[in-house]
Protein backbone atom coordinates (compact mmCIF):
# COMPACT_ATOMS: atom_id res chain seq x y z
CA UNK A 1 0.00 0.00 0.00
CA UNK A 2 1.14 3.56 -0.67
CA UNK A 3 2.34 5.19 2.54
CA UNK A 4 2.66 8.95 2.45
CA UNK A 5 1.20 11.46 4.89
CA UNK A 6 -1.37 8.81 5.83
CA UNK A 7 -4.80 10.14 6.77
CA UNK A 8 -6.33 10.04 10.22
CA UNK A 9 -5.79 6.49 11.50
CA UNK A 10 -9.06 6.62 13.42
CA UNK A 11 -11.08 7.06 10.24
CA UNK A 12 -12.95 3.98 9.03
CA UNK A 13 -11.26 2.64 5.93
CA UNK A 14 -13.24 1.93 2.75
CA UNK A 15 -12.34 -0.87 0.39
CA UNK A 16 -13.71 -2.27 -2.87
CA UNK A 17 -14.77 -5.91 -2.69
CA UNK A 18 -16.85 -6.38 -5.85
CA UNK A 19 -17.28 -4.91 -9.33
CA UNK A 20 -19.65 -5.30 -12.26
CA UNK A 21 -20.36 -3.45 -15.47
CA UNK A 22 -22.52 -3.31 -18.57
CA UNK A 23 -20.60 -1.62 -21.38
CA UNK A 24 -20.55 -1.21 -25.16
CA UNK A 25 -17.67 -3.74 -25.14
CA UNK A 26 -19.54 -6.37 -23.14
CA UNK A 27 -20.28 -7.28 -19.55
CA UNK A 28 -17.60 -9.70 -18.36
CA UNK A 29 -14.97 -7.84 -16.31
CA UNK A 30 -12.02 -9.86 -17.57
CA UNK A 31 -13.09 -10.06 -21.22
CA UNK A 32 -13.88 -6.36 -21.48
CA UNK A 33 -10.61 -5.47 -19.76
CA UNK A 34 -8.67 -7.49 -22.34
CA UNK A 35 -10.57 -5.78 -25.15
CA UNK A 36 -9.65 -2.40 -23.71
CA UNK A 37 -6.00 -3.37 -23.46
CA UNK A 38 -6.10 -4.40 -27.13
CA UNK A 39 -7.59 -1.03 -28.07
CA UNK A 40 -10.89 -2.39 -29.38
CA UNK A 41 -13.80 -0.04 -29.95
CA UNK A 42 -17.43 -0.32 -28.85
CA UNK A 43 -18.55 2.41 -31.26
CA UNK A 44 -20.74 1.62 -34.27
CA UNK A 45 -23.63 3.07 -36.34
CA UNK A 46 -26.63 3.74 -34.11
CA UNK A 47 -29.23 0.96 -34.12
CA UNK A 48 -31.47 1.99 -31.21
CA UNK A 49 -33.30 4.42 -33.50
CA UNK A 50 -32.98 5.68 -37.07
CA UNK A 51 -30.24 8.31 -36.77
CA UNK A 52 -29.59 8.59 -40.50
CA UNK A 53 -30.76 12.22 -40.68
CA UNK A 54 -28.87 13.36 -37.57
CA UNK A 55 -25.51 15.16 -37.69
CA UNK A 56 -24.13 12.20 -35.70
CA UNK A 57 -25.18 8.76 -36.89
CA UNK A 58 -23.15 6.58 -34.49
CA UNK A 59 -22.84 5.85 -30.78
CA UNK A 60 -21.48 3.33 -28.27
CA UNK A 61 -24.43 1.04 -27.62
CA UNK A 62 -24.97 -1.94 -25.36
CA UNK A 63 -26.07 -4.71 -27.71
CA UNK A 64 -28.00 -7.90 -27.09
CA UNK A 65 -28.89 -7.00 -23.51
CA UNK A 66 -31.44 -9.10 -21.61
CA UNK A 67 -32.06 -8.77 -17.87
CA UNK A 68 -32.99 -12.47 -17.72
CA UNK A 69 -29.32 -13.37 -18.18
CA UNK A 70 -28.43 -11.73 -14.88
CA UNK A 71 -31.51 -12.13 -12.68
CA UNK A 72 -33.22 -15.23 -14.07
CA UNK A 73 -36.79 -15.52 -12.77
CA UNK A 74 -36.34 -12.34 -10.71
CA UNK A 75 -36.10 -10.33 -13.93
CA UNK A 76 -39.87 -10.37 -14.34
CA UNK A 77 -40.59 -8.07 -11.41
CA UNK A 78 -38.15 -5.49 -12.79
CA UNK A 79 -39.43 -5.66 -16.38
CA UNK A 80 -41.11 -2.25 -16.09
CA UNK A 81 -37.74 -0.67 -15.32
CA UNK A 82 -36.31 1.58 -18.01
CA UNK A 83 -33.17 0.67 -19.93
CA UNK A 84 -30.80 2.40 -17.53
CA UNK A 85 -32.52 0.78 -14.52
CA UNK A 86 -32.07 -2.67 -16.05
CA UNK A 87 -28.40 -1.92 -16.76
CA UNK A 88 -27.99 -0.91 -13.11
CA UNK A 89 -29.63 -4.09 -11.85
CA UNK A 90 -27.43 -6.30 -14.01
CA UNK A 91 -24.20 -4.53 -13.01
CA UNK A 92 -25.23 -4.56 -9.34
CA UNK A 93 -25.94 -8.29 -9.50
CA UNK A 94 -22.47 -8.93 -10.93
CA UNK A 95 -20.81 -6.76 -8.28
CA UNK A 96 -22.85 -8.35 -5.47
CA UNK A 97 -21.82 -11.83 -6.63
CA UNK A 98 -18.22 -10.76 -7.22
CA UNK A 99 -18.06 -9.55 -3.62
CA UNK A 100 -19.39 -12.89 -2.34
CA UNK A 101 -22.39 -11.22 -0.73
CA UNK A 102 -24.74 -13.73 -2.35
CA UNK A 103 -23.06 -16.39 -0.18
CA UNK A 104 -22.91 -14.31 3.02
CA UNK A 105 -25.85 -14.54 5.40
CA UNK A 106 -24.46 -12.25 8.09
CA UNK A 107 -25.15 -8.90 6.42
CA UNK A 108 -27.38 -6.55 8.39
CA UNK A 109 -29.68 -5.08 5.69
CA UNK A 110 -30.14 -1.88 7.71
CA UNK A 111 -26.35 -1.36 7.55
CA UNK A 112 -26.25 -1.71 3.75
CA UNK A 113 -26.89 1.28 1.50
CA UNK A 114 -27.06 2.44 -2.10
CA UNK A 115 -25.51 5.56 -3.63
CA UNK A 116 -25.88 5.89 -7.39
CA UNK A 117 -25.25 8.37 -10.13
CA UNK A 118 -28.28 7.72 -12.30
CA UNK A 119 -29.82 9.34 -15.34
CA UNK A 120 -32.94 9.01 -17.42
CA UNK A 121 -33.62 6.14 -19.72
CA UNK A 122 -35.28 6.88 -23.06
CA UNK A 123 -38.98 7.54 -22.83
CA UNK A 124 -41.28 5.86 -25.34
CA UNK A 125 -40.19 8.53 -27.79
CA UNK A 126 -42.22 7.70 -30.87
CA UNK A 127 -45.50 7.21 -28.99
CA UNK A 128 -44.77 10.45 -27.15
CA UNK A 129 -44.35 12.32 -30.44
CA UNK A 130 -47.52 10.82 -31.90
CA UNK A 131 -49.51 11.86 -28.83
CA UNK A 132 -48.09 15.38 -29.00
CA UNK A 133 -48.83 15.76 -32.72
CA UNK A 134 -52.40 14.53 -32.33
CA UNK A 135 -52.96 16.96 -29.44
CA UNK A 136 -51.62 19.92 -31.41
CA UNK A 137 -54.71 21.76 -32.59
CA UNK A 138 -53.81 24.84 -34.57
CA UNK A 139 -57.33 25.65 -35.82
CA UNK A 140 -58.97 25.29 -32.42
CA UNK A 141 -56.37 27.57 -30.88
CA UNK A 142 -56.53 30.39 -33.38
CA UNK A 143 -53.50 29.26 -35.33
CA UNK A 144 -51.19 29.73 -32.34
CA UNK A 145 -50.08 26.13 -32.37
CA UNK A 146 -50.89 25.56 -28.71
CA UNK A 147 -51.15 22.11 -27.18
CA UNK A 148 -54.73 21.12 -26.38
CA UNK A 149 -54.36 19.82 -22.81
CA UNK A 150 -57.64 17.91 -22.90
CA UNK A 151 -56.72 16.23 -26.17
CA UNK A 152 -53.25 15.44 -24.76
CA UNK A 153 -54.77 13.68 -21.76
CA UNK A 154 -56.98 11.62 -24.03
CA UNK A 155 -54.29 10.61 -26.53
CA UNK A 156 -51.48 10.15 -24.00
CA UNK A 157 -53.75 7.85 -22.02
CA UNK A 158 -54.08 5.67 -25.10
CA UNK A 159 -50.47 5.77 -26.28
CA UNK A 160 -48.20 5.99 -23.23
CA UNK A 161 -47.48 3.42 -20.53
CA UNK A 162 -47.91 5.28 -17.25
CA UNK A 163 -45.65 2.90 -15.34
CA UNK A 164 -42.83 3.24 -17.82
CA UNK A 165 -43.16 7.03 -17.85
CA UNK A 166 -42.92 7.03 -14.05
CA UNK A 167 -39.80 4.88 -14.35
CA UNK A 168 -37.90 7.81 -15.89
CA UNK A 169 -37.39 9.29 -12.41
CA UNK A 170 -33.65 9.13 -11.63
CA UNK A 171 -34.11 7.32 -8.31
CA UNK A 172 -35.88 4.32 -9.83
CA UNK A 173 -32.64 2.36 -10.39
CA UNK A 174 -31.79 2.66 -6.69
CA UNK A 175 -35.30 1.58 -5.75
CA UNK A 176 -35.16 -1.54 -7.91
CA UNK A 177 -31.71 -2.47 -6.55
CA UNK A 178 -32.92 -2.04 -2.96
CA UNK A 179 -35.82 -4.42 -3.64
CA UNK A 180 -33.64 -7.00 -5.36
CA UNK A 181 -30.95 -7.18 -2.67
CA UNK A 182 -33.00 -6.28 0.42
CA UNK A 183 -30.91 -3.18 1.09
CA UNK A 184 -32.67 -1.24 3.83
CA UNK A 185 -30.07 1.36 4.77
CA UNK A 186 -29.40 4.86 3.37
CA UNK A 187 -30.28 5.19 -0.32
CA UNK A 188 -29.33 8.18 -2.46
CA UNK A 189 -29.17 9.17 -6.11
CA UNK A 190 -27.17 12.00 -7.60
CA UNK A 191 -27.54 13.33 -11.14
CA UNK A 192 -24.60 15.65 -11.64
CA UNK A 193 -24.25 14.87 -15.34
CA UNK A 194 -20.92 13.30 -16.36
CA UNK A 195 -19.55 13.46 -12.80
CA UNK A 196 -22.50 11.63 -11.21
CA UNK A 197 -21.07 8.18 -10.52
CA UNK A 198 -17.70 9.49 -9.35
CA UNK A 199 -19.52 11.77 -6.93
CA UNK A 200 -21.77 8.89 -5.85
CA UNK A 201 -18.78 6.67 -5.06
CA UNK A 202 -17.05 9.46 -3.15
CA UNK A 203 -20.15 10.20 -1.09
CA UNK A 204 -20.73 6.48 -0.53
CA UNK A 205 -17.20 6.20 0.85
CA UNK A 206 -17.96 9.06 3.23
CA UNK A 207 -21.14 7.28 4.29
CA UNK A 208 -19.06 4.31 5.39
CA UNK A 209 -16.28 6.42 6.91
CA UNK A 210 -18.65 8.21 9.25
CA UNK A 211 -20.27 4.96 10.37
CA UNK A 212 -23.67 5.21 8.67
CA UNK A 213 -23.23 1.97 6.69
CA UNK A 214 -20.91 -1.03 6.43
CA UNK A 215 -21.62 -1.93 2.80
CA UNK A 216 -22.76 0.33 -0.05
CA UNK A 217 -23.65 -0.56 -3.63
CA UNK A 218 -22.34 2.43 -5.56
CA UNK A 219 -21.74 3.46 -9.14
CA UNK A 220 -23.74 4.84 -12.02
CA UNK A 221 -26.04 4.05 -14.91
CA UNK A 222 -27.20 5.95 -17.96
CA UNK A 223 -28.90 5.47 -21.31
CA UNK A 224 -29.78 8.42 -23.50
CA UNK A 225 -29.09 7.16 -27.00
CA UNK A 226 -32.46 8.37 -28.22
CA UNK A 227 -33.60 11.31 -30.38
CA UNK A 228 -33.90 13.75 -27.45
CA UNK A 229 -30.44 12.96 -26.13
CA UNK A 230 -28.64 13.05 -29.45
CA UNK A 231 -30.47 16.21 -30.58
CA UNK A 232 -29.46 18.02 -27.40
CA UNK A 233 -25.79 17.17 -27.63
CA UNK A 234 -25.72 17.86 -31.38
CA UNK A 235 -27.18 21.31 -30.78
CA UNK A 236 -24.44 21.93 -28.23
CA UNK A 237 -21.92 20.83 -30.92
CA UNK A 238 -20.51 18.46 -28.29
CA UNK A 239 -20.71 15.24 -30.34
CA UNK A 240 -18.24 14.09 -32.95
CA UNK A 241 -19.69 14.12 -36.46
CA UNK A 242 -17.03 11.86 -37.95
CA UNK A 243 -19.67 9.65 -39.58
CA UNK A 244 -17.30 8.26 -42.19
CA UNK A 245 -14.98 6.83 -39.52
CA UNK A 246 -16.99 6.23 -36.39
CA UNK A 247 -14.62 3.68 -34.84
CA UNK A 248 -11.90 6.33 -34.68
CA UNK A 249 -14.23 9.23 -33.89
CA UNK A 250 -13.41 9.42 -30.17
CA UNK A 251 -9.97 11.07 -30.11
CA UNK A 252 -9.21 12.38 -26.62
CA UNK A 253 -6.28 14.83 -26.48
CA UNK A 254 -5.61 14.51 -30.24
CA UNK A 255 -5.41 17.77 -32.15
CA UNK A 256 -8.04 16.55 -34.66
CA UNK A 257 -10.67 15.75 -32.01
CA UNK A 258 -14.14 17.08 -32.79
CA UNK A 259 -16.32 15.96 -29.89
CA UNK A 260 -17.30 12.98 -27.77
CA UNK A 261 -19.18 9.82 -28.71
CA UNK A 262 -22.38 9.18 -26.76
CA UNK A 263 -22.42 5.84 -24.98
CA UNK A 264 -24.55 3.96 -22.47
CA UNK A 265 -24.11 1.40 -19.73
CA UNK A 266 -23.59 0.93 -16.02
CA UNK A 267 -20.76 0.38 -13.57
CA UNK A 268 -21.27 -0.82 -9.98
CA UNK A 269 -18.85 -1.36 -7.12
CA UNK A 270 -19.32 -2.82 -3.66
CA UNK A 271 -17.75 -0.47 -1.12
CA UNK A 272 -17.19 -1.96 2.30
CA UNK A 273 -15.73 -0.98 5.64
CA UNK A 274 -12.31 -2.63 5.87
CA UNK A 275 -12.80 -4.53 9.14
CA UNK A 276 -16.24 -5.74 8.00
CA UNK A 277 -14.68 -7.09 4.80
CA UNK A 278 -11.85 -8.80 6.70
CA UNK A 279 -14.23 -10.43 9.19
CA UNK A 280 -16.27 -12.08 6.45
CA UNK A 281 -13.17 -13.16 4.52
CA UNK A 282 -13.87 -10.97 1.49
CA UNK A 283 -11.39 -10.54 -1.34
CA UNK A 284 -10.25 -6.92 -1.19
CA UNK A 285 -9.50 -5.36 -4.59
CA UNK A 286 -8.39 -1.84 -3.66
CA UNK A 287 -8.94 0.95 -1.17
CA UNK A 288 -10.90 4.16 -1.82
CA UNK A 289 -8.40 6.52 -0.28
CA UNK A 290 -9.34 10.05 -1.37
CA UNK A 291 -12.25 12.09 -2.71
CA UNK A 292 -12.57 15.71 -3.81
CA UNK A 293 -15.68 17.53 -5.07
CA UNK A 294 -16.02 21.12 -6.29
CA UNK A 295 -18.10 23.39 -8.53
CA UNK A 296 -16.71 25.77 -11.13
CA UNK A 297 -19.41 28.38 -10.40
CA UNK A 298 -18.77 29.66 -13.92
CA UNK A 299 -21.01 28.65 -16.83
CA UNK A 300 -23.43 25.78 -17.34
CA UNK A 301 -21.79 24.23 -20.41
CA UNK A 302 -18.24 25.63 -20.23
CA UNK A 303 -15.35 24.75 -17.93
CA UNK A 304 -13.57 27.67 -16.31
CA UNK A 305 -10.66 28.47 -18.62
CA UNK A 306 -8.12 28.20 -15.78
CA UNK A 307 -9.41 24.78 -14.75
CA UNK A 308 -9.91 26.03 -11.21
CA UNK A 309 -12.65 23.51 -10.31
CA UNK A 310 -10.70 20.51 -11.56
CA UNK A 311 -7.54 21.74 -9.87
CA UNK A 312 -9.34 22.10 -6.56
CA UNK A 313 -11.00 18.67 -6.83
CA UNK A 314 -7.70 16.90 -7.50
CA UNK A 315 -5.96 18.71 -4.67
CA UNK A 316 -8.76 17.89 -2.26
CA UNK A 317 -8.66 14.21 -3.26
CA UNK A 318 -4.90 14.03 -2.75
CA UNK A 319 -5.16 15.77 0.60
CA UNK A 320 -7.98 13.44 1.66
CA UNK A 321 -5.85 10.46 0.66
CA UNK A 322 -2.78 11.77 2.47
CA UNK A 323 -0.78 11.51 -0.76
CA UNK A 324 1.38 13.80 -2.86
CA UNK A 325 1.30 14.11 -6.67
CA UNK A 326 4.49 12.02 -6.83
CA UNK A 327 2.62 9.11 -5.20
CA UNK A 328 0.19 8.84 -8.13
CA UNK A 329 1.25 6.35 -10.79
CA UNK A 330 -1.70 6.67 -13.19
CA UNK A 331 -4.48 9.13 -14.02
CA UNK A 332 -7.74 8.03 -15.60
CA UNK A 333 -8.71 11.24 -17.34
CA UNK A 334 -12.19 12.56 -17.96
CA UNK A 335 -10.82 12.91 -21.49
CA UNK A 336 -14.00 13.37 -23.51
CA UNK A 337 -12.48 14.31 -26.85
CA UNK A 338 -13.93 17.82 -26.91
CA UNK A 339 -11.45 20.60 -27.60
CA UNK A 340 -12.23 22.52 -24.43
CA UNK A 341 -12.35 19.63 -21.95
CA UNK A 342 -9.10 18.01 -22.99
CA UNK A 343 -7.16 21.27 -23.08
CA UNK A 344 -8.37 22.45 -19.68
CA UNK A 345 -8.01 19.04 -18.02
CA UNK A 346 -4.41 18.90 -19.24
CA UNK A 347 -3.86 22.40 -17.85
CA UNK A 348 -5.37 21.39 -14.51
CA UNK A 349 -3.24 18.25 -14.24
CA UNK A 350 -0.12 20.27 -15.04
CA UNK A 351 -1.03 22.79 -12.36
CA UNK A 352 -1.62 20.16 -9.66
CA UNK A 353 1.23 17.80 -10.54
CA UNK A 354 3.90 20.35 -11.44
CA UNK A 355 7.16 18.69 -12.46
CA UNK A 356 5.56 15.26 -12.05
CA UNK A 357 2.87 16.05 -14.65
CA UNK A 358 4.93 14.84 -17.61
CA UNK A 359 6.00 11.71 -15.75
CA UNK A 360 2.59 10.39 -14.76
CA UNK A 361 0.80 8.41 -17.51
CA UNK A 362 -2.74 9.50 -18.38
CA UNK A 363 -5.34 7.77 -20.52
CA UNK A 364 -8.97 8.00 -21.52
CA UNK A 365 -10.95 4.81 -22.08
CA UNK A 366 -13.71 6.96 -23.60
CA UNK A 367 -11.71 6.49 -26.80
CA UNK A 368 -13.10 2.92 -26.78
CA UNK A 369 -16.19 2.95 -24.51
CA UNK A 370 -17.55 6.28 -25.69
CA UNK A 371 -18.90 8.60 -23.00
CA UNK A 372 -21.27 6.76 -20.67
CA UNK A 373 -22.39 10.07 -19.06
CA UNK A 374 -23.57 9.31 -15.48
CA UNK A 375 -21.99 5.83 -15.64
CA UNK A 376 -18.63 7.02 -17.00
CA UNK A 377 -16.84 7.62 -13.71
CA UNK A 378 -17.76 4.22 -12.28
CA UNK A 379 -16.57 2.16 -15.26
CA UNK A 380 -13.41 4.26 -15.40
CA UNK A 381 -12.73 3.65 -11.69
CA UNK A 382 -13.06 -0.08 -12.36
CA UNK A 383 -10.30 0.22 -14.97
CA UNK A 384 -8.13 1.93 -12.34
CA UNK A 385 -8.62 -1.03 -9.98
CA UNK A 386 -7.70 -3.43 -12.78
CA UNK A 387 -4.62 -1.36 -13.67
CA UNK A 388 -3.49 -1.63 -10.03
CA UNK A 389 -4.15 -5.37 -10.01
CA UNK A 390 -2.47 -6.24 -13.30
CA UNK A 391 0.25 -3.60 -13.61
CA UNK A 392 -0.86 -2.45 -17.04
CA UNK A 393 -2.43 0.78 -18.30
CA UNK A 394 -5.21 0.98 -20.90
CA UNK A 395 -4.36 3.15 -23.91
CA UNK A 396 -5.86 6.32 -25.30
CA UNK A 397 -6.81 5.17 -28.77
CA UNK A 398 -6.97 7.19 -32.01
CA UNK A 399 -4.18 9.52 -30.89
CA UNK A 400 -2.05 10.51 -33.86
CA UNK A 401 -1.64 14.31 -34.01
CA UNK A 402 -0.19 15.90 -30.84
CA UNK A 403 -1.85 19.07 -29.61
CA UNK A 404 0.46 21.75 -28.17
CA UNK A 405 -2.31 22.50 -25.64
CA UNK A 406 -2.19 18.88 -24.45
CA UNK A 407 1.53 18.24 -23.84
CA UNK A 408 1.36 15.29 -21.40
CA UNK A 409 1.77 11.50 -21.65
CA UNK A 410 -1.57 10.04 -22.80
CA UNK A 411 -0.45 6.38 -23.27
CA UNK A 412 -1.15 6.61 -27.00
CA UNK A 413 -2.64 3.66 -28.89
CA UNK A 414 -0.98 0.83 -26.99
CA UNK A 415 -1.36 -0.56 -23.48
CA UNK A 416 1.68 -0.08 -21.27
CA UNK A 417 3.07 -2.16 -18.43
CA UNK A 418 3.56 -0.15 -15.26
CA UNK A 419 3.37 -0.75 -11.53
CA UNK A 420 0.43 1.18 -10.14
CA UNK A 421 0.08 1.59 -6.39
CA UNK A 422 -2.17 4.64 -6.56
CA UNK A 423 -4.47 5.89 -9.31
CA UNK A 424 -6.47 9.09 -9.65
CA UNK A 425 -9.73 9.27 -11.61
CA UNK A 426 -11.33 12.51 -12.82
CA UNK A 427 -14.93 13.26 -13.81
CA UNK A 428 -16.13 16.71 -14.82
CA UNK A 429 -19.81 17.34 -15.55
CA UNK A 430 -21.97 19.91 -17.32
CA UNK A 431 -22.93 22.61 -14.89
CA UNK A 432 -19.36 22.85 -13.61
CA UNK A 433 -19.30 19.76 -11.36
CA UNK A 434 -15.83 18.34 -10.68
CA UNK A 435 -15.16 15.08 -8.83
CA UNK A 436 -11.94 13.16 -8.27
CA UNK A 437 -11.25 9.80 -6.60
CA UNK A 438 -7.98 8.24 -5.49
CA UNK A 439 -7.75 4.45 -5.19
CA UNK A 440 -4.74 2.55 -3.92
CA UNK A 441 -3.30 -0.92 -3.65
CA UNK A 442 -3.95 -2.55 -0.30
Q: What is the 3-state secondary structure (H, E, C) of the chain?
A: CCCCCCCCCCCCCEEEEEEEEEECCECCHHHHHHHHHCCCCCCEECCCCCCCCCCCCEEECCCCCCCHHHHHHHHHHHCCCCHHHHHHHHHHHHHHHHCCHHHCCCCCHHHEEEEEEECCCCCCHHHHHHHHHHCECCCCCCCCCCECHHHHHHHHHHHCCHHHHHCCCCCHHHHHHHHHHCCCCCEEEECCHHHHHHHHHHHHHHHHHCCCCCEEEEEEEECCCCHHHHHHHHHCCCECCCHHHHHHCCCCCECCCCCECEECEEEEEEEEEHHHHHHCCCCCCEEEEEEEEEECCCCCCCCCCCCHHHHHHHHHHHHHHCCCHHHCCEEECCCCCCHHHHHHHHHHHHHHHHHHHHCCCEECCHHHHCECHHHHHHHHHHHHHHHHHHCEECCECCCCCEECCECCCCCECCCEECCCCEEEEEEEECCCEEEEEEEECC
Q: How far apart are CA 67 and CA 79, in angstroms?
A: 8
Reduce the DSSP state of residue 269 to 3 states and report it: strand
Catalytic (active-site) positions: 194, 334, 371
Amino acid sequence: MVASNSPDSSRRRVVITGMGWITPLGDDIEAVWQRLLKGESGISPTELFDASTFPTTFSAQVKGFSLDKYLGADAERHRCGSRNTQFALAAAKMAWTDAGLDRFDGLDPTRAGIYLGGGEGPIDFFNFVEAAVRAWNREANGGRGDLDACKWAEVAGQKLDAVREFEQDPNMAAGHIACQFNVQGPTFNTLTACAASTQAIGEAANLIRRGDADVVISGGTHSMIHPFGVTGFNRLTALSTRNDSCITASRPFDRTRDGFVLGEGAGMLILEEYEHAVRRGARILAEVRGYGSTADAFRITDIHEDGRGGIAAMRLALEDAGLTPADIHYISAHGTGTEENDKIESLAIASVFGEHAKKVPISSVKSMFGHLIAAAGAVELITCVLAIRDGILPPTMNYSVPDPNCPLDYVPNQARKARVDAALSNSFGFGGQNDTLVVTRI
